[in-house]
A and B are shown apart, each in its own frame.
Chain A
């Protein structure tokens, strides 16, 4: 495990309700863009890892590795679907990274895709609840927003976090999304609009929740030797980690923190030989606004319990002390679950290349991407750095 690994190409579809596009159209569009951006040819690709949470329930399609290789014109190469609920994309990226790091391959594509709007909202909810515990949560009528509402209630009780602070996360996400042409919701919302939106699972309201989205993203990874030969601006993966926790929320040691994030971040910082203070920006998993507060606390950007406070004080805005989700996050950009972890990598690469346009974080050198599965049973973290 000694070779350095870089991202040398990125591609992604617009995120949204893409009724005219099929599952296979989305991932081949993103993949072709990434391969073109890397300046390589199809025959250079040695393997594929595709993050997809539930194509069986969303699109009636399994056997994703072979399907994507087939429709990409790459049949013959090994192609593996990776699943860790909403962290499937981040895990696909990590598996591709490990494959190159191990010396098994030199050029690998990591993709993520989900086609969620071909089923009714009710069916999509059933598919998403597969990320929780079927026997002891879903059976009782639990929904995903309600799991995060149960966490929000504890965080509010233990730390005095306010609904205004939680709502400010969504306001900031939409501000950033308004600067992102790929976002599902490229417009701003006010604090009043968030706080008066319909209740979903008290205290969480509609505008605290990420949407149902179609989309795909892909990145091309290469070993150091190949990356240096092919591109001028490789983005290095300097730390990568994954941690797990209990599948059901009620089995956790605490509801007001995400232990898998705390464990994974310590490992990733150690690998990268950096501290949280060295991170210039982060793309974190804000599937619900409270999740961003739990993420930034778990990642060490503030003390436990202070995530709401630093959000309210503007520290997480694009020009703040630690910009969080310059892309608009899952809330503003959209959340095609399997694609999300890869889309976070695409945003981080754009930022580190200095190509993020009006949402550019100034002098960004190191970015962290944080992808969560379920109510926190999986965390995948990757840390990216420019030359």
Chain B
């Protein structure tokens, strides 16, 4: 099913620059961003915050059976990264061999092409992570 442009356009700040949110009342930071703090709900006060992109591997896997649009990358590494600010985020791990990956290794975010909508559709970009050391 082809998708409309606004679906990607409205998430550009978050996906390009790791813009998340934080709740000024309880202090928790959210990435992916939330507009309602799950701790404080209506009493919370949400504002945008930029994340550093620094973190460590919390878990990872190597995907051998990709979904449509990701076939040419096969196999690729998918990680859950623990950002130094606290939240966990799901993203591909790039520029590495599967055997280099390990829980706890330090990573940093990089800006990459994520997927293209077919041969003539728009190209969607976003964050991936690579090993820091």
Contacts and interface: CB of A to CB of B under 8 A. Distances in A.
A and B are partners in one complex rather than unrelated chains: yes
Interface of A: 122-123, 125-126, 129, 133, 135-143, 145-146, 149-151, 153-154, 157, 198-204, 248-251, 255
B92 A255 contact: no
B114 A140 contact: yes
Interface in B18-72: 32, 58-70
Contacts of B67: 122, 125-126, 129, 138, 141, 143
8 contacts: A122-B67, A125-B67, A126-B68, A139-B114, A141-B73, A142-B90, A143-B63, A149-B61
Main secondary structure of the interface of A (DSSP, over half): helix
Contact of A249 (B64, B90, B98, B115): B90
B59 A141 contact: no
Nearest to B81: A250
Given A140-B91, A142-B90, A153 B68 contact: no
Contact of A150 (B32, B59, B76): B59
Nearest to A121: B65
B89 interface: yes
Nearest to A252: B88
Given A125-B65, A138-B67, A141-B69, 5 more contacts: A135-B32, A137-B90, A140-B91, A141-B73, A204-B61
Interface residues of B, number: 32
Given A200-B64, A248-B32, A255-B80, A140 B126 contact: yes
Given A136-B32, A248-B90, A141 B60 contact: no
A255 B58 contact: yes
B90 A198 contact: no
B78 A150 contact: yes
A141 B103 contact: no
B90 A153 contact: no
Nearest to A137: B90
A249 B80 contact: yes
A251 B88 contact: yes
Contacts of A204: 61
For the complex of A and B, list the 5 residue pairs with the smallest distance between their C-beta atoms, beginning with the closest: A149-B61, A202-B62, A250-B88, A141-B70, A150-B59
Interface string B108-133: 00000011000000001010000000
A201 B62 contact: yes
B84 interface: no
B90 A250 contact: yes
B115 A157 contact: no
A201 B11 CA distance: 28
A141 B80 contact: no
Contacts of B88: 250-251
Contacts of B114: 139-141
A142 B80 CA distance: 11
A245 B102 CA distance: 27
A198 B64 contact: yes
A125 B73 CA distance: 17
A139 B59 CA distance: 18
Contacts of B68: 122-123, 125-126
A278 B45 CA distance: 47
Given A135-B11, A140-B114, A202 B64 contact: yes
B66 A141 contact: yes
B60 A153 contact: yes
Contact of B64 (A138, A201, A248): A201
A141 B58 contact: no
B60 A150 contact: yes
A76 B69 CA distance: 44
Max chain A CB contacts within 10 Å: which of B59, B73, B88, B103?
A: B59
Contacts of A140: 78, 90-92, 114, 126
A150 B101 CA distance: 13
